[in-house]
Amino acid sequence: MFQFSIYMRHCASRENAEVHVKRVKKHLPPLGHVGIMSITDKQFGMMELFYGIKEAVKPDMPQQLELF
């Protein structure tokens, strides 16, 4: 595992991304670790997401109140 949480930000250009990289570098936590990965729109679109097979139990739906 690389990290517990992931934050994303869309940047329209590499130059715009560099502005945000500089901002993050300026505010690094003293004891933390920050990793930045830049990917293209095409690479992001090829991402594969996997979910567990076990279905979650759906909560009981409350009875709908009808008004006439």
pLDDT of 3 strictly over 90: no
Under the banding of pLDDT at 50, 70 and 90, the label for residue 57 is confident
pLDDT at 63: 74
32 vs 22 pLDDT, higher one: 22
Between CA 3 and CA 22 the distance in angstroms is: 21
- pLDDT (0 to 100) of residue 68: 64
What tens digit of pLDDT does each residue of 34-43 get? 899 999 989 9
Domain locations in the chain as residue ranges: 1-47
pTM of the complete model: 0.61
Q: Which residue is it, tokens 């076990």?
A: 54
The predicted pLDDT at position 23 comes to: 94
Return the structure tokens found at 57: 């139990």
